[in-house]
Structures are given as structure tokens and as C-alpha cells.
Amino acid sequence: MKQIVCLHSLTPEQIHQIEQAAPGFEMIVKNKKELDPDQIKNAEIIVGWSRTIAEHALQEDSKLKWVQTWSAGVDTLPLERLRDRGILLTNSSGVHAIPISESIFAMMLSFSRQMHIAVRHQLQKNWKSDLTIPGHSTLGEINGKTLVIVGVGEIGRETARLAKAFGMHVIGVRRSDKPEPNVDQMLTMDGLHEALGQGDYIVNVLPLTEETHHMFDAAAWKAAKKGACFINAGRGPTVDTSSLIDALNSGQISGAGLDVFEQEPLPTDNPLWTMEQVIITPHVAGSNDRYTERVVDIFTENVKAYTQGQKPPRNLVDYERMY
């Protein structure tokens, strides 16, 4: 019997949901340490990925035909080897739209109301009504401010929807300038610096590709509106960390909310840790109690089509674009 190997825990109900959509397939739900090499090599479909299973999954006698990742990003996978083997690759794009957009707004509202500074004073039992940081501008309320979203996909669309509810002006930047609901102006990537010059808040939700690596560099910070607030909920290496630190020190960027980094975990000697104008979260913006449920829904739709001889309809990765 054909096999589906899932590396992540599922409830009995979720396993049944997948089995109903994939008649003729046996479901094996084990973590990477519990799987033996033969189970990996015999899997036609693998849900999730791990470097430790790649050795067996990509051998010449492997039966692997399709990988459904547990994440939206695929930059850590062996894309060339998967492509050369003709293996289908789908990701979990869309799962993160609600939790990450809410995390983005948690950071934006914290910066606008200086909540991150208040919490630090609270820990010191310090009653201080002036929450400004000397030498840095304070953005105040977000109503009426301009939000620039770089990389308008599922997360960007939901972020734009929330932004309009707060009365913000929204500028989007992506490969296509096709209009989107809740985005007042859409620019292509060629217009990135033009957009940055207008943003009170700049949100990066770009995937990591050869094109986007260090897209936010010294030139980008120079082009940005002075005193803008930057939030990175995309991929760490899309930002040149040293130039961001310089921009924060100079006040060109007034604050940064960072969930992802070039090096993770962020080294303890990195200056970002001790900057008052920085909020750090450990790559958890997409975490939530409905994550598995949403991945299973995506996979169920895909596997139903796959068993009927069709390509997975949702989130099929373009190996050339790397997303």
C-alpha cells in the first residue's frame, strides 16, 4: 500500500480526515526519531520536513513524489535536489495570515503607545509618565498614518485589512502591481524605495529568495522616511542586520519589531537585545492554537486532488521563484 508519512502530531480526527481524502494510502504519523529508513524511503508523500530524513528520502530508490511542508517558507529545503527529482512541493502559505498579522499589529500598537517602554519601567517599579526615548521620534496614534507592506501575499492582505480598520493609508509592494482590496496603492519591487519614503510603518513579509536577500540594506534605510518604524515578520536574511542597527542608532529608523533574524537564535552579544527601541520575539509570530488544523485542511484538499491524478491545487511551489 502507498504511504503518507507525517512528521507532526495529529489528532485521531485529523488522521481520519486525511485518510478519507486519500483512499489507498496508509498514514504513518511519527516524529523523525521514531521513523526507520525503510518507512522514509517507502513514503510517496511526506508531510513536514527534516534534514535528518533527507538522506533517506532523496535516495535513488526512494518512492517520494510529493512533500507538503509544515511551514510557509521553503528556503531551508534542498530545493535543487527536490526539483531535479521531479518532486512536487507544496507549502503551508495562508496558515499564518491571521496570527502573523495580529503579531504585526501587536508590535505596531506597542510602538505607537510606547507599551514596550512602559513594561520595562514596570519591571523596575519605576513610575514614569514620559515614555519617549531621547533622540528618537514618537509616532503617536496609528490612525491616519501610512503603512507600507513589502511582499503582499496572504499575510499582507490580512495586515492591510486590519490597517484599514485602524484608519491607515496602505501602500503595497510586490512583484505584481495588480490591485488588492484594502491596499490604496500597489507598486512593483522597482518602487520599493519610493514606497519606503512614505511609510510611517514598514512591514516586511517577503519570502527569502536570491532576489530578496538583504533587500533591506543601507540604501533602503536611507530611502525610508526618517523616524519610520520597521517590523520584520518575513525572513531574517532579507534584512542586513548591521545596517539596521546603524539606522536604529542614528534615529533614521525609530523602532524595530523583529520576529526573525539572519542568525537564529539571535546571538546574546547582538546589540539588538539591549536597544530600548527594539521589540524581539523568537520566531513565534505565526504560532497559534489552530496551526495544525489549518495545515491539515490545506493538505486534505491537496491530497484529495492528488489521489485523483491532479496536481495539488493549493500552494504549489515554483522552484524558480522559491515560493
Note the pTM of the prediction, 2 decimals.
0.90
What are the φ and ψ backbone dihedral angles of 248, each rounded to 5 degrees?
-70, -40
Please name the residues in contact with 61: beta carbons below 8 A apart, sequence gap of 6 or more: 41
* 323 residues of the chain, pLDDT tens digit each: 999 999 999 999 999 999 999 999 999 999 988 999 999 999 999 999 998 899 999 999 999 999 999 999 999 999 999 999 999 999 999 999 999 999 999 999 999 999 999 999 999 999 999 898 876 667 789 999 999 999 999 999 999 999 999 999 999 999 999 999 999 999 999 999 999 999 999 999 999 999 999 999 999 999 999 999 999 999 999 999 999 999 999 999 999 999 999 999 999 999 999 999 999 999 999 999 999 999 999 999 999 999 999 999 999 999 998 88
Please report where in the chains the cell 500598537 appears, as a residue: 109
What residues are labeled active site?
A: 235, 264, 283
According to DSSP H, which parts of 48-146 are helical? 51-57, 79-84, 97-113, 115-123
Q: Domain spanning 97-280 has what CATH number?
A: 3.40.50.720
- What is d(CA 252, CA 255) in angstroms, rounded to the nearest whole number? 9
Domain with CATH 3.40.50.720 in the chain: 2-94+289-306, 97-280
pLDDT of residue 132: 86
pLDDT of residue 41: 96
Residue ranges of E strands in the chain: 2-6, 25-29, 43-47, 66-68, 88-90, 146-150, 169-173, 185-187, 201-204, 228-232, 253-258, 278-280
Please name the residues in contact with 315: beta carbons below 8 A apart, sequence gap of 6 or more: 90, 91, 92, 93, 94, 298, 302
At the second CATH level, the architecture of 2-94+289-306 is 3-Layer(aba) Sandwich (3.40)
Label the pairing between strands 88-90 and 146-150. unpaired
pLDDT of residue 137: 67
